[in-house]
Chain A
Amino acid sequence: MGALFRLALFCFRFYGATIKALLPIDKGLRVKKAFYSFVLSGLMVFGSQNALASDHLSEADPWEGFNRTVFSFNEGLDRYVLKPATLGYKAVTPDLVETGVSNFFNNISDVGSLFNNILQGKIDPAVSDLARISFNTTFGLGGIIDVATPMGLERYDEDFGQTLGYWGVSSGPYVMLPFFGPSTVRDGVGLAVDSVTSPMNNVEDDSARYVLMALKAVDTRAGLLEAEKLITGDKYIFVREAYLQRREFSVNDGVVEDYDDDNF
């Protein structure tokens, strides 16, 4: 983005110079000059802000070299294993079954959400999570049917990384985890805590647990198939920006401080 603005700035300077060259010198020139320099300085401030923002982002990703290596490993894994498996899964299972599988895993992650809402002292969301789990597990036949959403109980999807963020822990450097994908130091710690406390981790039968984990991976990947089509440019940067923004959004429960309607 910064580069783009620098380019725009260059064009504008060139344009300004051209105009200056073409314009006949008249008494209005002084005014026009003032106008152009005003616009230019404004653009320069804007551009430098953007330069700062991109500095900030590289600050968030000091381990970019390492991360890119892991990213290309993940990409390879995805290209040759996960994506084909997911496409195969989508091809053979009816949509109804896919929804059931998603609901099942969502119900399990609602348990984590419940604990994290409690840890964050958010009472109403915690009550809602508890109600969701209760109704989906019973009326929803073990979580396969999401009866709670039509009842008006929304999903919160809190995790321990968000709890740490809520407690004021900053995200730390961006890190690309092998197998698990984009994360930060904070969210990586959160992920570890979440997976230890998850009901899935407490399935005693090893093979059943591995099947569940594989199915969950495929289910998650299936959910990303549509989003993937939006990726443009450098995929690494796209994923990083998308991830960091989404996490900030989640930690603040959708209240983004910098957001301003006037920017649009």
Chain B
Amino acid sequence: MKKSIIALAVAGALTAPMVAQADATLYGSLRLALVSNDGSELDLNDNVSRIGIKGSTELFSGAKAIFQFEEGVNAADGGWGAARLASIGVTGDFGTFNAGRQWSPFALWTVLPFHTGENTASTSTAGYITGVGALFHRLPNTMAYITPNMSGFQAAAVAIADNEGSGEDLDAYNLAAKYSAGGLMVAASLIQVDGNAGAATDINHVSVGVTYKADALYVGARYAETDNAGTETDQYSVVGKYTMGNTSLMASYSDTEANTDVYSLEVQQKLGKQAKVFAAYTDRDTTDGVEVGYRVDF
């Protein structure tokens, strides 16, 4: 839902009137989950809530300047959480240039399509890798170029320029491409991190994913392989989701070489356009449990 932030506009009008001129949308998603794991006490957790502002403003050339700022919030304890997004860019016929802290195409195309559930076993950090001192999904200090959608085909390149003392101008980069047609989507991503950067070792990460959507059914599978200073690990996951009106049934399974297989079964129910509940059974190597959650978006 698009909302002009009146409060911000009023505040802006008092100090810097220019701020109010760009049409900004305040958005957010507050999510709570009650987790009952075998052998642990009941826990009411924040389930990756966030609040953000985004918008765009027209440029003289006809292109658009875009901006976004998003911060994690803790809906269980209150207070701000970790930084999520902070970027400004330009978008037009030529594609999108964006700089700051932003989603990597690796995450957008080969991880997030496989996070169909709300429970922690199906999302958490499943599929994410670390690099340059952070998880490689929302990258700081980045410059990105994303091509426009060319009859289903799209490619993206992201470079990290962080003065990590690696002796290289670019510490890491991510190249990715995806193709979608009909209900099918295939994507591939390559990440390379320089050994002298924050990660301390050379990292090569390749991931591929495919999803298919037919009417009520959505299925996806992904495979990723990480070469961390010569040590190779791989991971795969499969997800399925069946949607029936406001009700969805979701199943996820992922397995890594370290033999930590995780699966979950979840039912979601939309209570309204922007509110939903879920109940899930999760099973990890070490424990299994039940999670229920409530989420409101705005």
The interface of chain A, by Cβ under 8 A from chain B, is 123-124, 127-128, 130-131, 134-135, 137-139, 148, 151-153
Contact = CB atoms under 8 A, between A and B. Distances in A.
B244 A124 contact: yes
Contacts of A131: 247, 249, 267, 269
Interface string B234-258: 0000000010111101000000000
Secondary structure call for the B interface: strand
A127 B247 contact: yes
Given A130-B267, A151-B271, A138 B292 contact: yes
5 contacts: A128-B244, A131-B247, A134-B279, A135-B279, A138-B290
Of the candidates A137, A138, A153, the one having the most CB atoms from chain B within 10 angstroms of its own CB is A138
B185 interface: no
Given A135-B267, A135-B277, 5 more contacts: A123-B242, A139-B277, A139-B279, A152-B269, A153-B269
A127 B241 CA distance: 11
Contact of B249 (A130, A138, A151): A130
A197 to B, nearest CB: 20
A135 to B, nearest CB: 6
Given A131-B269, A134-B267, A135-B267, A152 B246 contact: yes
A239 to B, nearest CB: 37
Nearest to B279: A134
Contacts of B269: 131, 135, 148, 151-153
Nearest to A148: B269
Contacts of A134: 267, 279
A153 B277 contact: no
Contact of B279 (A124, A127, A128, A138): A138
A136 to B, nearest CB: 9
A123 B271 CA distance: 21
Contacts of A124: 244
A131 B246 CA distance: 11
A127 B244 contact: yes
A131 B271 CA distance: 13
Interface string B140-175: 000000000000000000000000000000000000
A225 B226 CA distance: 68
A116 to B, nearest CB: 17
A156 to B, nearest CB: 13
Given A138-B290, A138-B292, A139-B279, A152 B245 contact: yes
A133 to B, nearest CB: 9
B109 to A, nearest CB: 29
A153 B271 CA distance: 11
Contacts of B267: 127, 130-131, 134-135
A4 to B, nearest CB: 46
Contacts of B292: 138-139
B244 to A, nearest CB: 5
Contacts of B244: 124, 127-128
Name the 7 nearest CB pairs between A and B, nearest first: A134-B279, A131-B267, A138-B292, A134-B267, A138-B279, A131-B247, A127-B249
